[in-house]
Amino acid sequence: MRLRKTEKSSMNKQERAIYEREKAIRASQKEIVLNCLEEILRESPDKYKVNSIIARKTGVPAHIVGEIVVAHRRGREQSKDAQFVRQACGLAMAAKCQRSYAGPREGNKHKWQLYWLKLDAVCAEIGIAYTGSSRRSVVSAVAPYAGALLDKIAENVFSAAYAEMAIQHFQDKPNNYIAFVADHANTLPATARYFLEKKFQMPPTKKIIGVAREFGMPAGLAAEAIRCLNENYFASGTALSLAVYFRRNNSDIELEQANEFLIRYRQMREKNL
């Protein structure tokens, strides 16, 4: 006797008592059946006779045993599938399971959407053989989340690129800057370069540092402002919106300086960054 929420609210005391009693009986039956199932499976009997054995041992009607066992197995399978998806997606975020990403490609949706993913490396990390079936399983697990995973990798790259430690590294070893950023974002150098130059359309780090010094702000804040301008984050790209943004980020930039920043930004854009 399963009732919806609205039906529960309209039950009288007697009906509620019956409902609660049946609910308790079903919960008790479930516990008994699953305990018995666990015991039987340890003995490895004929899987086709499990339900009848449980019904005979527990005294629970066979049709109820069947419902409980099916629901239990379905839940375990769903849990296992969800765990596989989490594991595969987590590995897709690791440089050791990636190839260089250079933007979307046309073609078969799943195949080309995941050209940047080393399917063999993912299978190896999970601990399964690299076969056609395992490849399809990884693709099915990762493909629905590929866009979100790439966005996350891109955000990791951006955060790593303009952190104070990365800026200091650029000043000390500019030739090793992209490799440093990629390492801290757990991706590949070519992928990091693509996201900074193509996705975010950021100017060279040297120019960002120069602008930051000119306006007396951290390079990370200057980079964030440039990204916001690139993405049309501010209403009509006005200096006032930019000044408010700087104020919210604890910068003392005034409206006049914000206007100068906007001019410098447009000059960089005109020179193709």
Lowest mean pLDDT among 106-115, 213-222, 242-251: 106-115
- DSSP-derived letter for residue 116 is T
The pLDDT value recorded for residue 98 is 98
Q: What's the pLDDT band for 209 if we cut at 50, 70, 90?
A: very high
CA separation for the pair 269, 201 (Å, rounded): 10
The pLDDT value recorded for residue 265 is 92
Q: Going by C-beta distance under 8 Å and a sequence separation of 6 or more, which residues neighbour residue 193?
A: 178
pLDDT tens, 161-171? 999 999 999 99
Q: How many residues make up the chain in this entry?
A: 273
> Which value, in Å, is the radius of gyration of the alpha carbons in the chain?
29
- 40 versus 155: the higher-pLDDT residue is 155
The pLDDT of 37-42, averaged and rounded, is: 69
Helices of type H across the chain: 5-9, 13-42, 50-58, 62-92, 109-113, 119-126, 132-142, 146-161, 164-172, 177-185, 189-194, 205-214, 219-230, 239-248, 255-270
Average pLDDT, the chain: 86
Question: Does the pLDDT of residue 1 top 50, yes or no?
Answer: no
For residue 147, count CB atoms less than 10 angstroms from its CB and return exposed for 0-12, middle for 13-18, buried for 19 or more. exposed
Tokens of 89: 């997606």
The pLDDT value recorded for residue 109 is 59
The pLDDT value recorded for residue 238 is 81
Tokens of 97: 């399971």
Separation of CA 63 from chain center: 41
The pTM of the full predicted model, rounded to 2 decimals, is 0.74
Question: Does the pLDDT of residue 142 top 60, yes or no?
Answer: yes
Question: Does the pLDDT of residue 47 top 70, yes or no?
Answer: no
CA separation for the pair 198, 193 (Å, rounded): 8
Q: What's the pLDDT band for 63 if we cut at 50, 70, 90?
A: confident
- 185 versus 73: the higher-pLDDT residue is 185
Lowest mean pLDDT among 1-15, 89-103, 187-201: 1-15
The pLDDT value recorded for residue 236 is 65
pLDDT tens, 95-136? 999 999 999 887 665 556 799 999 999 999 999 999 999 999
Question: Does the pLDDT of residue 36 top 80, yes or no?
Answer: no
CA separation for the pair 175, 104 (Å, rounded): 28
Question: Does the pLDDT of residue 147 top 80, yes or no?
Answer: yes
Are 252 and 221 in contact by the 8 Å Cβ rule? The answer is no
Q: Which of 159, 169, 152, 166 is nearest to 98 (CA)?
A: 152
Amino acid at 102: A
Q: Going by C-beta distance under 8 Å and a sequence separation of 6 or more, which residues neighbour residue 184?
A: 160, 163, 165, 166
Which single residue is written with the structure tokens 């699953």? 34
Q: Where do the domains of the chain lie?
A: 5-89, 92-146, 152-270
